[in-house]
Amino acid sequence: MLILYLNNVSIMDPEGIVIRIKTPAGDMDSSVDSPSLLNFNDLLVAIRDVMPEATVTAFEYEDEVGDRITVRSDEELKAMLSYYFNTMNEQRMNGLMPDPLQIFPRAGKTPGIRNIHGLKVNTRPNPANDCTHAVQDTMASNSLKKSSAELKRILTNGQINAQDIHYQEQLGHGNGGTVYKAYHIIGKRVLAVKVIPLDITVELQKQIMSELEILYKCDSPYIITFFSAFFVENRISICTEFMDGGSLDVYKRIPEHVLGRIAVAVVNGLTYLWSLKILHRDVKPSNMLVNTRGQVKLCDFGVSTQLVNSIAKTYVGTNAYMAPERISGEQYGIHADVWSVGISFMELALGMFPYPQIQKNQGSLMPLQLLQCIVDEDPPVLPVSQFSEKFVHFITQCMRRQPKERPAPNNLMDHSFIIQYNDGNAEVVSMWVCRCLEERRAQEAQGRV
């Protein structure tokens, strides 16, 4: 193994990091003393020096679920470093040595420009000659493999054990259970674990586990990644990807240009679920999660009828985001999810539930009689003076009282409001989430003074 040192860095940063460049010839470790001064071009030149035969124009890193993210600019490099620092901190908090930052060069066939920025690269002899290093390297690369592809396999085989989870803090409490931020020690990653108490027979437990199997197959950037579920005594724990921005219900009024990008993700997520013949059944702001990378993902969709039924026996009430046909107990289908999209986005745009006579105190479950106005009255309309025509039309279409008059899945994706914001600009959401989190932290700090 070669060790590569990047020498163009100053000593201003409090601590350095190790970047592991994964090449077909092996791993190259680069120690970077001042990551904040590192720029995309310098790193690219360093990569080209260790892969002179290839044209490298970009590289990738793996996120917490093993998906590859491409880096092509200084901005994307910054996002990668900030993701890596978070992971490093989590590992330290849990008493672990941080893994190096692994990057995977994306190589073409023709030779590239070499070291135009004059970056000095010192290659060192292969430390594998030294037995101690060799053992450590093997262990390190094993653990790294575990934290990506192998981990995904372990997790998706349902091998997360209760004793390997460190619970860190409570993220929230819903109508069925409590969600915790947790750390999976073996997988070295942060999880969200939803714990639901259920007094049911072992037979029913088995049925729920088999109904949840479809979650392993869900693979969409707009759907929360499911890792595993297990029963301990009379509680089921469902482990999923953690989203550091939390759910949309805790954000105040969301500006339309941000909401537009969020709507694109939600509609994409639902279209994906519908393509698998899964109805979400619980579309509402608290089941739309965001992160500081600007991703928006749906969670808590009802794939297990047994699980939904078992929870419903304990928590009685009707969900305020349900379509009129569901409130009045009629048959329903995809169009009921479309209504819930409409009412959710109306609430997020206004910063209040669109039926003022319905006071939601805790959660979204209400006595049926209180929701009768949703069945009886004309649906509310967004004020045209405050919102764009396209947005108002989108909401109005989704909230048609007659299910068949609401847009069908394809029409939803083709709505002019969705088309307008379907530009792949995750930065808008990312910046908005970061700003809101900062504001929240500042307010909390003030409250503590």
* 64 part of the interface to ligand ATP, by CB under 6 A: no
Taking CB under 6 A as the rule, which mask of x and - marks residues 177-206 in contact with ligand ATP?
x-x------------x-x------------
* 289 part of the interface to ligand ATP, by CB under 6 A: yes
Q: Which stretch binds ligand ATP (CB under 6 A): 61-69, 138-146, 280-288, 375-383?
A: 280-288
Minimum Å distance from CB 315 to Mg ion?
12
* 364 part of the interface to Mg ion, by CB under 5 A: no
- Binds 307, which of ligand ATP, Mg ion, none (CB < 5 to 8 A, cut-off by type)? none
* 241 part of the interface to Mg ion, by CB under 5 A: no
* 174 part of the interface to ligand ATP, by CB under 6 A: yes
Q: Which listed residue (282, 378, 414, 423) is catalytic?
A: 282
Residue 38's closest CA among 105, 119, 112? 119
373 exposed, middle or buried (CB, 10 Å; 0-12, 13-18, 19+)? middle
As a dihedral over the C-alpha atoms of residue 376, residue 322, residue 426, residue 259, rounded to 10 degrees, the angle is 20
* 240 part of the interface to ligand ATP, by CB under 6 A: yes
The strand pairing partners of 61, in sequence order, are 69
Tell me the three state secondary structure of residue 152: helix
How far CA 345 is from CA of 222, 255, 256, in Å, comes to 17, 11, 10
Question: Is 33 among the residues known to form the active site?
Answer: no
- Binds 246, which of Mg ion, ligand ATP, none (CB < 5 to 8 A, cut-off by type)? ligand ATP
Residue 99 CA to residue 80 CA, distance in Å, equals 14
Name residues contacting ligand ATP, limited to 358-377 (CB under 6 A).
363-364
Q: Which stretch binds ligand ATP (CB under 6 A): 60-68, 237-245, 353-361, 400-408?
A: 237-245
* 176 part of the interface to ligand ATP, by CB under 6 A: yes
The amino acid that residue 182 corresponds to is A
Count how many Cα atoms sit within 13 Å of the Cα of residue 429 in the half-sphere of its side chain.
26
The reply to whether 284 sits in an annotated binding site is no
* 84 part of the interface to ligand ATP, by CB under 6 A: no
Tell me the three state secondary structure of residue 32: strand
- Binds 363, which of ligand ATP, Mg ion, none (CB < 5 to 8 A, cut-off by type)? ligand ATP
Radius of gyration of the chain (CA): 25
Inter-helix orientation angle 334-350/256-275, to 10°: 160
**Tokens in use for 122?**
């010192």
Residue 344 CA to residue 286 CA, distance in Å, equals 9
DSSP 347-394: HHHHTS-S-TT----SSSEE-GGGGHHHHHSPPP---TTTS-HHHHHH
Residue 51 CA to residue 38 CA, distance in Å, equals 19
Residues contacting ligand ATP: total by CB under 6 A: 26
* 300 part of the interface to Mg ion, by CB under 5 A: yes
Minimum Å distance from CB 248 to ligand ATP?
9
Cβ(226)–Cβ(238) under 8 Å?
Answer: yes
146 or 360: whose CB is closer to ligand ATP? 360
The backbone torsions φ and ψ at residue 167, rounded to the nearest 5 degrees and listed phi first, read: -80, 135
Q: Which stretch binds ligand ATP (CB under 6 A): 39-47, 240-248, 262-270, 420-428?
A: 240-248
Cβ(227)–Cβ(239) under 8 Å?
Answer: yes
Taking CB under 5 A as the rule, which mask of x and - marks residues 258-287 in contact with Mg ion?
-----------------------------x
Minimum Å distance from CB 319 to ligand ATP?
7
Which amino acids are annotated catalytic?
282
User: Which residues here bind ligand ATP, judged by CB under 6 A?
Assistant: 171-177, 179, 192, 194, 224, 240-243, 246-247, 249, 282, 286-287, 289, 299-300, 363-364
User: Which residues here bind Mg ion, judged by CB under 5 A?
Assistant: 174, 287, 300
Which residues are part of a known binding site? 194
Which residues are part of a known binding site for ATP? 194
